[in-house]
Each structure stands twice: as C-alpha cells, then as structure tokens.
A and B are shown apart, each in its own frame.
Chain A
Amino acid sequence: MWSVTKQEWKLNTRLPWVYFFLVTYTLFVYFFSSLHADSALGLGLYTNMTGTMMNITIYFLPLFTLMIASFSVTTEKEDGRLNLYFISPAPLCHWIVGKWFGLFGVLGAVILISFSFASIIALFMKIDVTVNNMYLLFFSLSLLAMFLSLGICIGTFVKNRWQALTVSVIVWGFFILLWPMFLMTVLSSFRYQTIVTALEISTFINPVEWLRIFVISNMGGGVIFGAEYTDWITWTEGGTGVIIFILALAGWIILPLLFSSMYLKRRRTYGEK
C-alpha cells in the first residue's frame, strides 16, 4: 500500500499545479486572516469573516479535490497503468487506500503549509488568528478527506476525464449549490411534525453541511442557525460530539472507498466485457 502512496506523492509533488495551489491558498488564508483582525466581534470565535472564509473554502476546495482525485484515477485508466496494476498480484484495496493517502498527503501538506505560512506572517504583523486558523485548518482538512474519497469513487465508476469532470461538477453542484433548494423541495412534501427530524437526518447526507454545523457550533457560533436548530445541534458539543464527528467523518471516507473497491474488484476478477 505504501508503495502506491509513495508513487502518488512522487508524481503529484512534481506537478506545477501543486505549487500554484500552495501560493494561491497561502495568499487566500493570509488575506482573510488580515481582514479577520479588522472585523467586528462575533459569536465566540465565529465572526462574519470566519463565515465568509468558510463559505469560500466550501465553494472551491470540494470541487478542486473532486477533480484532482477523479482525474488521478481516470488518468491511470486511460493510460493503461490501472490495468497493469490489475494484472499484478497486489491487493486492490492497497491501490485505493494508497491513492487516498498519497493524495491526502500532497493536498493536506499544501493546506497545512498555507495555514502555517499565513499564520506566521499574520503573527509578524501582530494579528493573532491562530485559534481561528486552527479551526479553519481542521475544517479544510476534513473537507479534503471526505471529498477525496468521493472523487476516487467518481473516478472508478466513470470511463475518462471528461466524464470525471462532468460528474465532479454535478456532485459539487448538488452538495454546494443545489442543497438548500433540494432540501426545501423534499421537506415540503413531508408532514409538518416530521420536518425537523427529516432535516436533522438530511444534515448527515451532505458532508459539507454536517461539518459546517459542527465547526461553527464548536467555534461558539451555533446561534446563527436559529432557535430550533440550536436546540438540536447540542449533539456537536462535548464527548458525544467528538464521537459523532469521528463516525460521520469515517463513514464519508470509508463508504465511497468501499464502493470503489467492490466495483473494481468485480472488474478485476471477471475482466471487462
């Protein structure tokens, strides 16, 4: 498994986009850290600038991650390298998990370095955003982990990069852009008494949504969701919150990888038709 991770790391760190992403992300974090210092006091650690930064992260990080992960798989398919792996005796789960770790290593390192750079520069400028940045770093890494799995899953089910791009945009559009409209449409067909429960359950169907609620609530900004919701999101606090967070995160990482593994295993055992 580690040989796949090592190979993935080696290949990706030699690509120019990684360094472009590093510079862009560092500037992004730094600019928002500076603006954050000037923004009005918020709720706990949560300010309107933290919210804006989270929203921007939500808009571009999942799409970028989905594309990188799905392209990484489809490129290997198109180039014939995946078939060479299939022909080898190495276990399939090593390829999938190894790829996940490799990509998480590269993109995670970029995000970590960006936050570190930006925080150090901010400290020199006497702007203390360390705690906020820790939360945002945690938020970005969690988003990255889940969308990498989804991206790998997309890559295994599609045939080429064009299809990967299309499906990635659709998945991103659904979770990020269409989600509120989707919820309103679906929930309006429910009986009034069941709407709150349905809303609570549906939160976990969207990886961005539950993560956003968890992080905002832990930053002390839970009231922005409204009275009814605030009562419900008490699950995000304390030890239970941590357990629910770990379970949800693990579910969103493991399930897509499991589907990919099952699909590829079938293809590998019986061959393509």
Chain B
Amino acid sequence: MEKNKRVQMKQLSKKRGDQTIIRNWSAHLHAGEIAIVVGPNGAGKSTITKMLTGELKPDAGDIWVGSAHVSKNPLLYRKQIGYMPDKLNMDISLTCFEFLSYYASLYGKKQSVVTSWLRRVELEPKQSIKKLSKGMTQRLLLARALFTDPSFLILDEPTNGLDQHWLQELKEILTSFQQTGGTIWITTHDESFAQSLEGKTWRLQNGEMISAHEWSCL
C-alpha cells in the first residue's frame, strides 16, 4: 500500500459464471475523494461493491484501505469501512432506534450516537421499521453506515427511493463527510446524481471500467 492513498485496488478481476464483471482493474483513491461507478442494472456494480466490503472474494487482485488488506488484516479493514447496502430485509418488528442500537453495540458506539444520527436523517427513534417507506429505509441505512465513523464509506445505490429534498440532503451529508477526510465509493444507475457529484467517475461496461475521460472520448 502506497502512502497517501486511502484506498487501493490492484489488478482486480472477477467473473460470475460466464460474465466477466471486471478484468485486471487497478485504481486508487485519496482521503476526501469520491469514486462514482455508474452502469446499467446487472453490469456488476454491486459485485464490485461486495468485493470492497470483503463479502466477495476477487478471482485475482488485492484491495487495501489504509494499511489494511481486505483478507490479510480483516479486522482493521472492517473497522475502517461504513457500508450502505443496496437492499436489506430488516426485521419489521424493530423500531429505528432498536435497529441502529444493535449495530452501535457491535461497533462499540454509545446509544447517544444513534439518537443524533436518527435526528440527522429525520427519523423518529420509536418509529416502526414496518411503516418506513423506501426512502426512509435508505435514510436509516445511511445512518447505519455513517455512525460507525468510517474512513471509507461504501454506498450501493444510495439514491433509490429518495425524493428531491433527500437527494440534496444526501449530497450535503456526503460533502461534509468528504470535508472531514473521508473517502467515498458510490455505485449508482442514477446518472444525473453521479454527474452532480465531483469525483472520479467510471462506467462499468462489459468487464471494463471506463473512466469519465475515456468515456467522453468514445
């Protein structure tokens, strides 16, 4: 892992059945940088995200966050990442507070952190998960990813179900995270949202990650 590079991906390759998700891809991100990966549904964006979280093993290649390698220093690696999944079937019998406080205890965070993040995403602590809309669920998952104080934030399709007001709020939250030196990885099919963010943009297509520059020349 080279110094000053927060996240580094080297020679990543992954196949799923006959489909090549990614072939020999290398990239790095600095502290405070945003990476945006766009592509159509089924292109493999979530697969790459899952490799970054350590859920999926790449066929070849290495991933580091700071000095931690995804499989060689898994504990240190996991402590540095905050992840917002594309979808999660949460237990509907829980309230928003109960849902987050469980994860807070896993990360050794105080319950007061949960309350302040719920306030930030404008959710009531006693609100039942059963009654949350898609957008509200996304906000809850965003709070879950952020309250752990990660240095690398991974968001999979964060705009799903968000209205205009919350798209703007999301951008503000991401900007303030970025300003504190956090690195962000976003996969989305929402191109207008991707264009509204300033960061390194790639398009995932047929196993190739085409950078915004290359893609505009095509």
Contact = CB atoms under 8 A, between A and B. Distances in A.
Interface of A: 3, 7, 10-11, 14-15, 78-81, 83-90, 268-273
Contact of B57 (A10, A85, A272): A272
B56 A272 contact: yes
A85 B89 CA distance: 14
Q: Classify the interface of chain A: helix, strand, loop or mixed.
A: helix
Nearest to A10: B98
B85 A88 contact: no
Given A87-B83, A269-B74, A79 B88 contact: yes
Given A79-B89, A272-B56, A10 B94 contact: yes
Contact of B83 (A14, A84, A270, A272): A84
Contacts of A80: 85, 87-89
B88 A268 contact: no
A100 B92 CA distance: 22
Interface string B41-76: 000000000110111110000000000001100110
Given A84-B83, A86-B54, A271-B70, 7 more contacts: A3-B106, A81-B90, A83-B53, A87-B53, A87-B83, A88-B107, A272-B56
B192 interface: no
A3 B87 contact: no
Contacts of B53: 83, 87
A89 B78 contact: yes
A78 B57 CA distance: 19
A270 B91 CA distance: 27
Task: Enumerate the 8 nearest inter-chain pairs by beta-carbon distance, A residue then B residue, closest first.
Answer: A3-B105, A271-B57, A79-B89, A14-B93, A90-B106, A88-B106, A89-B79, A89-B78
A264 to B, nearest CB: 13
30 contacts: A3-B105, A3-B106, A10-B93, A10-B94, A11-B93, A78-B89, A79-B88, A79-B89, A79-B90, A79-B91, A80-B85, A80-B87, A80-B88, A80-B89, A81-B88, A81-B89, A83-B55, A84-B85, A86-B54, A87-B55, A87-B78, A88-B107, A88-B148, A270-B71, A271-B50, A271-B51, A271-B55, A271-B70, A272-B55, A272-B56
